A and B are shown apart, each in its own frame.
Chain A
Amino acid sequence: MTRLSDRHIPARVEFVALLAAFALFLSTVEYMIPKPVPFMRIGLANLPLIIGLGILSDREYFLLAVLKVFGQGLVTGTIFSYIILFSLAGTAASTLVMYVFYRFARRFISLLGVSIAGAMASNIAQLQLSRLILFGDAARLIAPPFLAVGLVTSILLGLFAESFVVKSQWYAKQKENRP
């Protein structure tokens, strides 16, 4: 983004807000896709976090994660309920794991691996939380299907992200502009 902002917010931060808005948009798209099982999620909203790895600085990346959680909580109206804790735990875990894998193991893994690792981290964190506050020990029973569905959707998302960074002109432009 080359445009100067007049709200005392630097242009780069504004770019993060744009990506966060994109995540919100994707979560509304996901909301409209019919799902056979409740609790099943595709995690479309994680796409900006995956592609953001290549075009954001460290601080911007974690700011994006915070904005994603807050924005989703506000849009879905769940910000003052347990649900925000699940969203927070999942995003925090996946953001950290994806960041570490991308920064330190970029040579050995593509965005597919990053996406899978992020989804597993997120789902394991959420299962632990659901064990603590919602399901008790029975959380261990829903773990296998929950993790399996997450694995499949994260593979799809990872392949899509990998394809996106290759084909997208917008991404190429951002990559050039990256400070």
Chain B
Amino acid sequence: MTLSMMRSPWDVWYILLNNFLSIHVKQVLARDFDKRLATCYDAPMRRLKPGDFVILIISVAIILLSMRSFGEFSGKPEVRVRAGGKQWVYDLSVDTRATFDGPVGSTTMEIEGGKVHVHDSDCRNKVCIAAGWISRPGQWIICLPNDVFILIEGSEIQEEGGADDTAF
């Protein structure tokens, strides 16, 4: 089929499919399976309908859209906890509760609905509990007596920790 024979966009679709798809398909099939099996794909080209093209385009669009989510994983905020020379990492978007042991006793951190706070601590002054909830990258809570440091890390670090930010 030459260009001069083309009459409608429908013929372009036919040529595209026949050239780019069918020929490759035939080559692959001829190589891997059987030449005569490949001839199965000769007949139906003319019977294809415009809706097939629409469905194909929508499907390709869905696949391209699904690729966007690759980016979402790089900048996801994480909760990093340092205690006793070790480090723990948690997903900010998953509700959890974890307990860390320090020199004074144990400190329990809780993640709920994308926010973190110290739920309970064996330290005397309870400053860490009073610090309340944090939720943005760059924010942190520390329990000095029990040596537990909680920090939210992520790509969009904001410089608004709080008044006592400067102390560290």
Q: Which A residues fall within an 8 A CB radius of B? A: 101, 105, 107-113, 116-117, 120, 124, 137, 140-141, 143-144, 147-148, 151, 155-156, 158-160, 162-164, 166-167
Contact = CB atoms under 8 A, between A and B. Distances in A.
**Interface of A: prevailing SS:** helix
Nearest to B48: A110
Contact of B60 (A107, A109, A111, A151): A151
6 contacts: A143-B69, A144-B70, A147-B66, A160-B41, A163-B42, A166-B44
A130 to B, nearest CB: 13
Interface of B: 21-22, 25, 40-44, 47-52, 54-56, 59-60, 62-63, 66-67, 69-70, 72-73
A108 B10 CA distance: 13
Contacts, number: 85
Given A110-B44, A110-B47, A144 B55 contact: no
Given A140-B72, A144-B70, A162-B44, 15 more contacts: A108-B54, A110-B44, A113-B54, A113-B55, A116-B56, A141-B69, A141-B73, A144-B67, A156-B25, A159-B25, A159-B44, A162-B48, A163-B41, A166-B47, A167-B43
Contacts of A158: 52
Contact of A163 (B44, B50, B52): B44
A151 B52 CA distance: 12
A120 B55 CA distance: 10
Contact of A108 (B21, B25, B40, B49): B49
Contacts of A112: 44, 48, 52
Contacts of A144: 63, 66-67, 70
**Interface of B: prevailing SS:** helix
A109 B69 contact: no
Given A140-B69, A166-B43, A166-B44, A147 B62 contact: yes
Given A113-B51, A120-B62, A144-B63, A160 B69 contact: no
Contacts of A108: 49-51, 54
Nearest to A124: B62
A163 B43 contact: yes
Given A140-B69, A162-B44, A163-B40, A105 B51 contact: yes
A109 B44 contact: no
B51 A109 contact: yes
A141 to B, nearest CB: 7
A16 B40 CA distance: 25
Nearest to A151: B59
A144 B40 CA distance: 29
A155 B59 CA distance: 11
B85 to A, nearest CB: 30
Nearest to B39: A163
Contacts of B63: 144, 147-148, 151
A160 B66 contact: no
